[in-house]
Amino acid sequence: MLQLDQIVAGYNKSVALDGVSISIPEGRIVSVVGANGAGKSTIVNTISRLVTTYAGSIRFEGQDITGRKPAQVVELGIVQVPEGRRLFAPLTVEENLRLGFHRLAGKADSQRRYQERLDYVLELFPIMRQRIHQRAGTMSGGEQQMVAISRALMAGPKLLMLDEPSLGLAPMIVDQIFEILAKLRKDGLTILLVEQHADDALQLADYGYIMAVGRVRAEGPGNSLRDNPALHQSYLGKV
Ligand code: ATP
């Protein structure tokens, strides 16, 4: 569905990705793991076209999207759950979800589609049903992450990209969120998961990439990367 080919990208002429190639097949979960500063967020922001690309290409469903603008990328169905959630804290849960729907808002039959999307996310996260009128900023970190994922799902994405969804959350909540990602894959969604929690992210993934200092250092089926102690020691900082 999406291919990064030999991407060189960065900030103010400094290079954060140095020839990165990644492939995300339709209906799969691909995880990108690595230590702080490895370039994981830069991959997500490169695909969203928020980061300048110096060389290489990005293809989505057969089209070259390297020159596209961020809004055009969303319009194609590539939607990001950003690091740190970035909810609108003074707005209610429902208002945040409505903002996520804006990609589909002007389209035919939008009221029915809004209700369908809303029913879908409330089924995934039943806890939000009682919280729908609560201000997002007053929710716990785990609840806010659920709202952030739901807001992205309201846009009806083809490719969902999550940047460190586990950040600051208790292990039990992380497990719940990863279970939801597995359910989304079952429903046919394609997912790019960027994570420092390497073990969990690789276990969930169909395919994984290990990054260090702007380059892909290893790739393969998620479980084979997770079960390789040498890779852990070299790139993930533990045995
Ligand atoms: P983390 O988990 O800490 O977010 P990461 O693997 O996602 O790490 P990136 O955020 O992609 O790493 O950062 C890769 C490199 O790019 C780092 O050297 C970082 O300092 C640099 N970088 C990231 N964002 C910016 C920015 N807005 N301006 C300048 N340099 C940046």
H helix runs in 52-197, sequence order: 70-76, 93-100, 102-105, 110-124, 127-130, 141-154, 171-186
- Predicted pLDDT at 64: 95
Ligand 1 atom nearest to CA at 41? 7
Q: Where are the domains of the chain?
A: 85-156
Range name among 42-46, 107-111, 128-132, 140-144 with the lowest pLDDT average: 107-111
Looking at residue 215, what DSSP letter applies?
A: E
Q: Which of 19, 18, 27 is nearest to 160 (CA)?
A: 27
How far, in Å, CA of 228 to CA of 108, rounded? 50
pLDDT, tens digit (0-9, with 9 covering 90-100), for 148-207? 999 999 999 999 999 999 988 889 999 999 999 999 999 999 999 999 888 899 999 999
How far, in Å, CA of 84 to CA of 30, rounded? 20
pLDDT, tens digit (0-9, with 9 covering 90-100), for 50-90? 998 999 999 999 999 998 999 899 999 999 997 767 877 67
Higher-scoring residue by pLDDT: 28, 13: 28
How far, in Å, CA of 150 to CA of 164, rounded? 15
pLDDT at 133 over 90: no
- Across the beta sheet with 207-212, the strand order is 78-81, 159-163, 190-195, 29-34, 207-212, 215-221
Testing ligand 1's pocket by substitution, the residue of 11, 13, 85, 167 carrying the most ligand atoms inside 8 A of its CB is: 11
11: its two tokens: 């900030």
pLDDT at 30 over 90: yes
- Cα of 142 from ligand 1 centre, angstroms: 24
pLDDT at 124 over 70: yes
ipTM: 0.90
Contact 158, 1 (CB under 8 A): yes
How far, in Å, CA of 80 to CA of 159, rounded? 8
Average pLDDT of 230-236?
77
Higher-scoring residue by pLDDT: 225, 85: 225
- Predicted pLDDT at 239: 36
Q: Residues with beta carbon inside 6 Å of ligand 1?
A: 11, 16, 34, 36-42, 196
